[in-house]
Homo-oligomer: A and B are copies of this chain.
Amino acid sequence: MKKVEAIIKPFKLEDVKEALHEVGFEGMTVTEVKGFGRQKGHTEIYRGSEYTVDFLPKVKIEVVVATERVEAALNAIVKAAKTGKIGDGKVFVSPVESAVRIRTSEKDEAAI
């Protein structure tokens, strides 16, 4: 199994979720994160004090998938999340050795 972890623009969450659903991924976990990268943050001015807010709000989606389905997940995410503008984000794939469904104690592929 692999964990496919995508960092995307928040307003693309809905699209990515639907794209994943369409290729059969029902389960996923989403976290609100702050991203630093090439995309610039904005400047806020409060009564003359300037602050550069250098992070940008991003959303992290984690989907654990069977190894053979990594490609499908990856493609669905990339396609749905792309705007072509800087800051679209990344997808990382990393190994997962086992999985358990707490409710049933099912293991691995059966658990996800």
Contacts of A77 in B (CB 8 A): 102
Question: Would you call A33 and B36 a contact (CB within 8 A)?
Answer: no
Question: In the complex this chain forms, how many copies of it are found?
Answer: 3
A27 touches B31 (CB 8 A): no
- Central interface residue in A7, A83, A94, by most chain B CB within 10 Å: A94
Interchain nearest-CB distance for A97 vs B (Å): 5
A34 touches B29 (CB 8 A): yes
* Category for how many chain A residues contact B: 35 or more
Contact status A90-B111, CB under 8 Å: yes
Report A5-33 CB contacts with B as 1/0, cut-off 8 Å: 01110000000010000000011111111
Q: Give the interface of A toward B (CB within 8 A).
A: 2-3, 6-8, 17, 26-38, 55, 58, 60, 64, 74, 77-78, 81-103, 105, 111-112
